[in-house]
Amino acid sequence: MSESPLVSHIYTADPSAHVFNDRIYVYPSHDRDTGVSDNDNGDQYDMVDYHVFSMDDVGSEVTDHGAVLKLEEIPWAEKQLWAPDAAERNGKYYLFFPARSHDGLFRIGVALSDKPEGPFAAEPEPIAGSYSIDPAVLVDGQDAFLYFGGLWGGQLQHYNGNLHDPAREEPTGDSPAINPRVARLSDDMKSIVGEVQEMEILDEQGQPLRADDHNRRFFEAPWVHKRGDTYYLSYSTGNTHYLVYATSKSPTGPFIYGGRIMEPVVGWTTHQSIVEHRGRWFLFHHDSSLSGGRNSLRCMKAKEIFYDEAGHILPVKV
């Protein structure tokens, strides 16, 4: 399979891939050159719109459906349309996205369309009770779950439970690591039902991953896919640049760490999705190869992945 970017006419990152009507649709963020120097708050990532891409199969021609949602069309958002995701339910299509509101905090919004390629119309307010970044949605039978969270620029370290505490920072040493959040979505996909919960990611001995275990601890990009009766939580370790996964028999966990999916790529970090299409499984991710290594100008790619007989994801080659 080609290692070329899926598209090269614009910079794209954080690809969320789904199969709708037997066609692959990808919902990435859209990088632009802002001239802002890289920093840990992510100020260089100042995206202002979303494009949708689709293809008949991985390796076939990719269609750019254009800008389907713009920052000025979202009443509550001030800036930074970061990594989105999409879902279908009851014939409607939903685009979930993070953005900084006017108080400087990230929240998660939702926009609706009658077609997977959009355009999407945003709800006037963010989802009540949401915070941080990197929304991912799993529709599992009659249930739908919203996963989210990201450290550093994604602000998750500043939350004590579900309450914002600007003095709180990422733990260190032998303290338990911060984990992504999960919430059940309402039938109309516009609100959270019940309380947002912190997920559990455990090691092989059933103990919580520790804060100083940067090769395995969660940093950002939670994504849950289901294969058979097993749920796979994949995520980025951030500053150590690995894509890793954990498994559970429940969509809300606890999840047991399973191993690495991919080693570091060109660029500071990566962000993934995993999808099945016509009996094959694909990893969508990004790197910075198209821009010659500029961390804020990225390109999305796709690779086929495989599982062993025990259900482990086999590492892919960079």
Per residue in 224-273, pLDDT (tens digit) is 999 999 999 999 999 999 999 999 999 999 999 999 999 999 998 799 99
Q: What percent of the chain has pLDDT over 90?
A: 93
Confidence check: pLDDT of 1 > 60: no
Q: pTM surpassing 0.95?
A: yes
What is the band of 49 on the pLDDT scale with cuts at 50, 70, 90? very high
Catalytic residue among 3, 14, 73, 309: 14
Q: Is residue 2 part of a domain?
A: no
Give all strands of the β-sheet with 143-148 in edge-to-edge order: 136-140, 143-148, 181-185, 192-198
Question: For residue 247, what is the domain's CATH number?
Answer: 2.115.10.20
The answer to whether 110 touches 95, Cβ cutoff 8 Å, is: yes
14 is catalytic: yes
Catalytic residue among 46, 117, 220, 287: 220
At residue 288, the pLDDT reads: 96
* Count of structural domains, the chain: 1
Provide the residue range defining the domain that includes 185.
Answer: 11-305
Q: Is residue 251 part of a domain?
A: yes
State whether the Cα torsion 206-282-32-66 is positive or negative: negative
d(CA 67, CA 227): 32
Q: Is residue 256 part of a domain?
A: yes
d(CA 147, CA 139): 11
43 is catalytic: no
Please, what is the Cα angle at 104 between 98 and 109, to 5 degrees?
25
Q: Is residue 312 part of a domain?
A: no
Q: Which tokens sit at 22?
A: 């037997």
Q: Is residue 181 part of a domain?
A: yes
At residue 113, the pLDDT reads: 98
Confidence check: pLDDT of 38 > 90: no
Q: Is residue 310 part of a domain?
A: no
| Average pLDDT rounded to a whole number, residues 95-103 | 98
